[in-house]
A = this chain, B = another copy of it.
Amino acid sequence: MADAEYVNIWMRPERPAYGPKPAYSRAQITEAAIRIADAEGLEAATMRRIAAAIGAGAMSLYRYVPSRDNLVELMADRLMGEIDVTGMPSGDWRADLTRYADGLRAMWLRHPWIAAVQRSLPSFGPNQLLLIERLMGVLDAFVSIDENLGLVAMLSSYTEGTVREEISSAREFRRSGLSESEWMARSHQHVDQLVKSGEYPIFTKIVMEARQPHLSRDDQFRHGLRRVLDCIAAALPSTAGSPMPAHRDGRQAQDGPSGKAPRATQHG
């Protein structure tokens, strides 16, 4: 019944400030869970595994977190803190948004299990809240709040959609447990069958062209990102000129997508 008191995790205090001092903490538990999920996927981060990782009994975790779902929420918000948005808005909205998109993608690639967590909008964690604050601050001076929400959603959706594809193809390959050559052989067998059927000309075109080198994942992402940013530029008033000309391939932001982002504000 005390559980129903709070609408979400963030409302529930961690420490009741009475009784003996707890031996662990939410942050510690969250960190251990993330480590396991990074190594073996989200479903490997069971309550027992997490508890064992910090040297606790399984049921002890429930003194800190009401349920596993809530722990996953904690983990997801912790991840949001890894996206470096310090110093935004810097005055160069294009650089800011590029840095955000790169940071978001890099974080997802570091923690691919994030794709499996259903985030729930109304339960904003502190890191997510801070991220939104900084991110939406970038365009706040130029457009209405509704327009800002739409533009930021477009940018985030593009980034997440792209990285979801990267993750799932990597996951599929790993899940099979086959050696790379074995997997390729089996896959080619399927693909060849589809190609030979003649019913899928476009699919065939993709496959055929895939056998000669494509752009790297990074370049593909950057190419699409530039398009999205151009689209955002078109929605901005002319007073919001960026130092960088829209259609030129200017220097990239300082944080490459495969570079490690600094552990940003932790908060939880």
Contacts and interface: CB of A to CB of B under 8 A. Distances in A.
A149 to B, nearest CB: 7
Nearest to A221: B150
A228 B154 contact: yes
Which of A186, A202, A220 is packed against the most chain B CB atoms within 10 Å?
A: A202
A219 to B, nearest CB: 10
Contacts of A6: 186
A169 interface: yes
B145 A165 contact: no
A9 to B, nearest CB: 11
How many chain copies does the complex carry?
2
B165 A161 contact: no
Contacts of A31: none
Contacts of A214: 146
Given A7-B176, A11-B190, A165-B121, A202 B133 contact: yes
A259 interface: no
A86 interface: no
A119 B153 contact: no
B168 A118 contact: yes
A255 interface: no
Given A172-B122, A202-B133, A228 B227 contact: no
17 contacts: A7-B189, A11-B189, A121-B168, A122-B173, A124-B203, A129-B194, A129-B203, A133-B203, A146-B220, A150-B220, A150-B223, A153-B161, A153-B162, A154-B161, A157-B157, A228-B231, A231-B234
